[in-house]
Structure 1
Amino acid sequence: MGFVGLIARDMERKFVAAARYAISAPSAAAAEAYALLHGCQLGEVLGVRYVILESDSLEAINCLSSSLSRGSWEAFPVLARVKQLGGKFLDCRWSWVPRSANGVAHKIASGSFTEMSDVVWVVRPPSSLVFVLNNDGLPCPH
């Protein structure tokens, strides 16, 4: 068992919400797909209509942007669901970001980050994330 970490930002790249979900994935590719799935679900819960889902998994982004059949068979059913949920937004885009720009999500997903589990923070991040958010170049309230 592991975790996925999510960050939601507005159009000005300001912090809106953070979330951490426990997952059980058979591979790293499937875990990355679950992160995208939870991102779609978080966007739906927050009521956003336009979404750009970022991931440092080039494989997942390529699959969503072109053909799901190009990816891992373990990630396929999850990515198919992601693509289906993405269709519910007025505009949904997939974007690859380097791992170095995705530090907050990895911090939240790490086993050492014990401040949250299946929790969503909205508007104000926990103090332990403010430094990492700023490191990623993301403005946030503190």
Structure 2
Amino acid sequence: MNHGQPNPFITIENIQRSISEWSNKSSLLTKSQQGVINQEPRPGWQPPNPQPPPPPPFVKVNVDGAWDEESHHSGVGIIIRNHRGHSIAGASIHGSHNSAIEVEAEAVVKGLQLAAHMNLQKIIVEGDCNEVLTALNNSSCHPNWRISPSIDKISHLKTLFVGINWNWIPREANRVADVAAKLAKLRLRSHKWANRPPTSIVSILRSDDGLPGPPCS
């Protein structure tokens, strides 16, 4: 379309990557949808809180972690959206940790690092790990010793922002970050994106959030 010479090898590689992403996504969705009959509708993404929604430049940083007890492989998922709900950045980061709680805390660290790299000033961090969010919301709380190093990193990273709030949300409202984390754990590699997330993430942005998804990578 741009009058360039097509490269069949790159095209085949892109097709194979998309098939792999769709296969992983289908497996994850099949497991998560078991037994959902007669349950309440799943809550979608909501614009930044508190009420009324804050004006720009506030953005929402959703984070989540996934961990395999046998292999200790872990994944961190991050999705950053502006006040209109548009995806502006994200990441699916592979790693290795000794516990699930450590991965959840590391997800917050990585989310703050990505937001700082983008020079964002006012953010709302959301996650579904109550233990980590409680430690961040309550300075008098003594966190689990496993996450103390991450809490120290977060305390330093907080100084890079003009305003920052912490919100706990149920897992059902954190679907995109959840799937991004699981994909990183399964695929054993990391993937960061600006406004072009992988195909599997775009489909969830469209179907679960009910928002227009950005173009695929």
TM-score in terms of structure 1 length = 0.88
In structure 2, give the amino acid aligned to 1:6: I
| Counterpart contact for 1:7–1:105, Cα < 8 Å | yes
| Counterpart contact for 1:15–1:139, Cα < 8 Å | no
* Residue aligning to 2:214: 141
- SS of 1:110's equivalent in the other structure is helix
| Residue 190 of structure 2 is aligned to residue 118 of structure 1 | yes
| Residue 87 of structure 2 is aligned to residue 15 of structure 1 | yes
| Counterpart contact for 2:203–2:213, Cα < 8 Å | no
Q: Offset of 1:23 from its aligned partner? A: 2.3
| Counterpart contact for 1:22–1:117, Cα < 8 Å | yes
- In the TM superposition, what are the counterparts of 1:41-120 in structure 2 within 5 Å? 41-67=113-139, 69-111=141-183, 114=187, 117-120=189-192
| Counterpart contact for 2:93–2:192, Cα < 8 Å | no
* Residue aligning to 2:78: 6
Q: Offset of 1:80 from its aligned partner? A: 1.9
| Alignment gaps of 5+ in structure 1 | none
Q: Offset of 1:131 from its aligned partner? A: 2.1
Determine the C-alpha separation between the residues in 1 that align with 2:102 and 2:89: 23
| Counterpart contact for 1:69–1:76, Cα < 8 Å | no
| Counterpart contact for 2:75–2:182, Cα < 8 Å | yes
| Counterpart contact for 2:90–2:194, Cα < 8 Å | yes
CA RMSD of superposed structures (Å): 2.0
| Counterpart contact for 2:123–2:163, Cα < 8 Å | yes
Q: Offset of 1:70 from its aligned partner? A: 3.0
Write out per-residue CA displacement over residues 15-64 of structure 1, whole angstroms, 9 at most, x where no aligned residue. Answer: 01120112222211111000000000000111111111111011111101
Task: List structure 1 segments (4+ residues) > 4 angstroms apart after TM superposition.
Answer: none
- The structure with the larger Rg is 2
- The match for 2:103 among 25, 31, 35 is 31
Write out per-residue CA displacement over residues 98-128 of structure 1, whole angstroms, 9 at most, x where no aligned residue. Answer: 10011111111115764x8322111122222
Determine the C-alpha separation between the residues in 1 that align with 2:186 and 2:82: 24
In structure 1, give the amino acid aligned to 2:179: K
Determine the C-alpha separation between the residues in 2 that align with 1:83 and 1:137: 34
Determine the C-alpha separation between the residues in 2 that align with 1:130 and 1:113: 18
TM-score in terms of structure 2 length = 0.59
Q: Offset of 1:89 from its aligned partner? A: 0.3
